[in-house]
Amino acid sequence: MRAVVVRDFGPIENATLNDMPKPEVKAGEVLLEVRATAVNFVDLIMMSGNYQFKPELPFIPGKLPAGIVAAIGQGVTKFKPGDHAIAMAEHGGFAEFVAMPENQCIPLPAALPFTEAAAMSLVYDTAYFALRDRARIAPGETVLVLGATGGVGLAAIQLAKAMGGKVLAAVASKDKEDIVRAAGADAIVDLSVPDLKESLRAQVFEKVGKGGVDIVLDMLGGDMFDAAIRALAWRGRLVVIGFASGRIPSIKANYFLVKNIEVTGLQISDYRKRRPDDMAAAFRQIFDWHAAGKLKPLPTKVYPIEQFATAMHDIQDRKVRGRVVLSQGK
C-alpha cells in the first residue's frame, strides 16, 4: 500500500511517499480502507520528534482517518465490510489502510462525505470535551475562544452555539474575521492590539459586561493566556488545550483562590484511550447536530496524498483558512 513514511525525526522533507506492507487485521480489529485524513499541526510536531510521545521509527503520520471498512477480525460485532468509519488512530492515517481495535473505531453516517468527516475529526471531538466535560458549559454562558481561526477554534464556536452559549472569537488577523463570523461567533476580540494584557480584558468587558466571560478555551498559551485569565468571570473556567504561541504560561495559585476560578487541561488522546464509549457518544451527538444543520462544514482545502508535503508546508506556514485534508482520490 502507499503511505507517507517518516524514517527519521525532523523536518517535513524527511517524509516520503513509499510502498509499505498492508496491515493484517487481527482478532478484535477493524481494517479501514482510508479515503481521507486531515493534516494537523500536531502531525508536524510528531514528525519532528518533539511530541509528548515518540512513535517507533519508521512510522506513518496522520490522525483519525476516515474510510470504508475493508475487513474485520474475529470477534468484531459492531462493524461489517462496507461500513463507513473513523479510526481513532494516533498515527497511521496517511496510508491506504489502517487497522485499529473495534472500540477505537467510530461509525460514520453513510451520507457524510469522507473529506468532511476527516475535517471534523480531531477538532470537533477536542472542542466537544473541552466545552462539555472540562468547562461544563451551561446554556446562556459566554465563551472566549483563543485561536478561533484554527480547526479546534472554529469547531468550538459552532459547538458552543449548539450548546446554547454566546461566543467571543479572538483573532490576530482581521482578514480572517469572516470565517469566525461564518462559524457563528457573536463578537470579535482583536489579539493584534497593543498592551494585550489590559486591552483584551477591556474588549471582553465592553462586549459582555464587567463580569467577564464564563469560559475560555485556550489553544495559544503565552501572552494570550496571561491576558485571557484576567477576563474570566467569578467561578469562570479556563481550559488549556495547546501552546501554539510557543510559550507555556505559568500563574501563581493564589489567583485561583481570589477569583474562585478553575484552570484545567485537555489531552484528547487520553479520552480516546481511556473513555472510548464517551468518545463514541460525543461523535454521535456531533453527527446528530450536523444532520440537524446546527454545524456547518468547516472551510477545507483538499490535497491528493501525492501533495502531502505541500499540504504540510501550508499548515506550517499558516497559509490555509480552516482545515487541510489529504484524499486518496477514490
Write the secondary structure of 61-77 as one string of H (helix), E (strand) and C (coil): CCCCCEEEEEEECCCCC
Domain boundary among 221, 253, 268: 268
Query: Is there a domain that residue 304 lies in?
Result: yes
Domain boundary among 245, 268, 291: 268
Query: Is there a domain that residue 291 lies in?
Result: no
Same domain, 236 and 303: no
pLDDT at 52: 79
Same domain, 115 and 176: no
Regions of the chain short of the pLDDT cut 50: none
Could you give the number of structural domains in the chain?
A: 2
pLDDT at 246: 82
Same domain, 164 and 204: yes
Same domain, 59 and 174: no
**CATH number, position 13:** 3.90.180.10
Query: Is there a domain that residue 278 lies in?
Result: no
**CATH number, position 242:** 3.40.50.720
Same domain, 129 and 117: no
Same domain, 251 and 323: no
Helices 308-316 and 41-48, axial angle in degrees (round to 10): 100
Model-level pTM?
0.94
Query: Is there a domain that residue 274 lies in?
Result: no
Question: Which residue segment(s) compose the domain that 219 sits in?
Answer: 123-268
Same domain, 16 and 80: yes
Same domain, 76 and 128: no
Query: Is there a domain that residue 9 lies in?
Result: yes
Same domain, 23 and 103: yes
**H/E/C letters for each residue in the chain?**
CEEEEECCCCCHHHEEEEECCCCCCCCCEEEEEEEEEEECHHHHHHHHCCCCCCCCCCECCCCCCEEEEEEECCCCCCCCCCCEEEECCCCCCCECEEEEEHHHEEECCCCCCHHHHHHHCCHHHHHHHHHHHHCCCCCCCEEEEECCCCHHHHHHHHHHHHCCCEEEEEECCHHHHHHHHHHCCCEEEECCCCCHHHHHHHHHHHHHCCCCEEEEEECCCHHHHHHHHHHEEEEEEEEECCCCCCCCCCCCCHHHHHHCCEEEECCHHHHHHHCHHHHHHHHHHHHHHHHCCCCCCCCEEEEEHHHHHHHHHHHHCCCCCCEEEEECCC
CA distances from 150 to 127, 173, 208, 252 (A): 11, 12, 23, 29
Condensed to tens digits (0 to 9), the pLDDT of residues 155-181 reads 999 999 999 999 999 998 888 899 999
Same domain, 25 and 105: yes
Query: Is there a domain that residue 280 lies in?
Result: no
Same domain, 96 and 165: no
> Alpha-carbon distance 172 to 206, whole Å?
18
> Alpha-carbon distance 213 to 143, whole Å?
6
Number of Cβ within 10 Å of residue 330's Cβ equals 11
Query: Is there a domain that residue 275 lies in?
Result: no
Query: Is there a domain that residue 322 lies in?
Result: yes
Same domain, 240 and 167: yes
